[in-house]
A = this chain, B = another copy of it.
Amino acid sequence: MEFSSKLLERAVNEMSQLPGIGKRTALRLVLHLLRQPKEQTQVLSQALTNMRNDIKFCKSCNNISDVDVCEICSNPKRNHNIICIVEDVRDVMAIENTSSFKGLYHVLGGKISPMDGIGPHDLNIESLVNKVKQGTVKELIFALSSTMEGDTTNFYIFKQIQDYNIITSTIARGISVGDELEYADEITLGRSIVNRIPFETTLKL
Query: B-contacting residues of A (Cβ < 8 Å)?
Result: 1-8, 10-11, 13-15, 17-21, 25, 27-34, 38, 40-55, 63-66, 70-72, 88-90, 92-93, 96-97
Known: A3-B93, A28-B19, A97-B2. A41 touches B34 (CB 8 A): no
Structural contact, A52 and B72, CB atoms closer than 8 A:
no
> For the complex, would chain A's binding face be called helix, strand, loop or mixed by DSSP majority?
helix
CB distance from A64 to the nearest CB of B (A): 5
Measured in the bound complex, the distance between the Cα atoms of B32 and A90 in whole Å is 12
A34 contact from B21, B45, B55, Cβ within 8 A? B55
- State in angstroms the CA–CA spacing of A28 and B31 once bound together: 22
Going nearest first, the 6 A-B pairs with the smallest beta carbon separation are A45-B45, A41-B52, A11-B51, A14-B47, A14-B44, A7-B51
Identical chains bound together, number: 2
Q: Contacts of A17 on B, CB cut-off 8 Å?
A: 40, 44
Nearest CB of B to A37, in Å? 9
A30 to B55, CA, bound (A): 12
Whether A38 contacts B52 by the Cβ 8 Å rule is yes
In contact, B14 and A48 (Cβ under 8 angstroms): yes
- A28-B19, A44-B14, A48-B11 given; A71·B33 CB < 8 A: no
Using known A-B contacts A43-B14, A48-B45, determine if residue A90 contacts B7 with beta carbons closer than 8 Å. no
A50 touches B10 (CB 8 A): yes
Given contacts A14-B43, A17-B40, A20-B25, contact A30 B5 (CB under 8 A): no
Q: Judging by beta carbons under 8 Å apart, are A8 and B51 in contact?
A: yes
- Are A42 and B52 within 8 A (Cβ)? yes
A56 CB to nearest B CB, Å: 8
Q: Which residue of B4, B44, B88 is within 8 Å of A92 (Cβ)? A: B4
A11 to B20, CA, bound (A): 18
Q: Which residue of B lies closest to A61 (CB)?
A: B4
- The CA of A3 and the CA of B90, in the complex, are separated in Å by 9
